[in-house]
Amino acid sequence: MPDSTTLTGRAIPMTTATRSTTTTVPGTTISTLGSDIGLLVLRVGFGLLLAVHGTQKLFGWFHGYGLTATGHAFAHMGYTPGPFFAALAGLCEAGGGVLLALGLLTPLAAAIALGTMINAVHQTWPEGFMKGYELPLVYCVAIIALAFAGPGRFSLDHNRPWQRQGAIWGLGAVVLAVVAGLITLAVK
């Protein structure tokens, strides 16, 4: 196999061990571009779905119950005062979801969303996996992945002075979320 091939005048190094290709496109490689697109799809899709859950609680949008009924439900689940915790959950889901979709303040957005989902997993645990905590757990997995991976190039955080990502920031977001989630469970 040749060491490189030419495609539209550019040399493309090829490795025989993995048969992967990279090319120089200003500011990126093909593999990085794919990761950035994947992060964009994950962030926007997941973030907007989470925001929808929040607006269901807050405003009754998308066939939700609205703040009054959600507040009563939270009180029934042991969160007192119910309306306060319903508003808190709705704001965290809506705000965290929008921030994640935009790729803005990503570690903080992940911590906000994950803390809320920790409470959702706890609350739905007695119902079992399929009828209870499956969806909040899926949300937790997506949030943790975004916390560690960062928002990618197609985000409002990209190349900004406040951009933070990587293992330390991902771990910090998870720790902050766990602490906030546990505090919420303790004071409910």
**pLDDT tens digits for 35-47?**
899 999 999 999 9
Residue 78: inside a domain:
yes
**Domain with 135 in it:** 35-187
Of 94, 91, 69, give the one whose Cα is nearest residue 82. 69
pLDDT band at 1; cut points 50, 70, 90: very low
In this prediction, residue 128 carries a pLDDT of: 92
pTM: 0.79
Residue 85: inside a domain:
yes
In this prediction, residue 5 carries a pLDDT of: 42
C-alpha 127/C-alpha 132 separation (Å) is: 5
In this prediction, residue 33 carries a pLDDT of: 87
Of 154, 145, 152, give the one whose Cα is nearest residue 173. 145
Residue 21: inside a domain:
no
Residue 117: inside a domain:
yes
Radius of gyration of the chain (CA): 20
- Res 170 pLDDT > 90: yes
In this prediction, residue 34 carries a pLDDT of: 87
Residue 18: inside a domain:
no
Residue 12: inside a domain:
no
Q: Could you give the percent of the chain with pLDDT greater than 70?
A: 82
- Please answer whether residues 42 and 146 qualify as being in contact, where contact means their C-beta atoms are separated by less than 8 angstroms: yes
For 38, 97, 130, 138, 177, the CA distances from 117, given in Å and listed in that order, are: 23, 12, 16, 9, 9
Per-residue pLDDT, averaged over 120-124, amounts to 95
In this prediction, residue 14 carries a pLDDT of: 44
Per-residue pLDDT, averaged over 111-123, amounts to 96
Residue 114: inside a domain:
yes
Per-residue pLDDT, averaged over 132-161, amounts to 91
- Please answer whether residues 82 and 133 qualify as being in contact, where contact means their C-beta atoms are separated by less than 8 angstroms: no
Tokens of 87: 């508003």
Of 91, 3, 103, 118, give the one whose Cα is nearest residue 45. 103
- Across all residues in the chain, what is the average pLDDT? 86
- Please answer whether residues 39 and 151 qualify as being in contact, where contact means their C-beta atoms are separated by less than 8 angstroms: yes
Per-residue pLDDT, averaged over 54-73, amounts to 96
Return all residues near 141 (Cβ < 8 A) that are at least 6 apart. Answer: none
In this prediction, residue 21 carries a pLDDT of: 44
Residue 99: inside a domain:
yes
The total of structural domains in the chain comes to 1
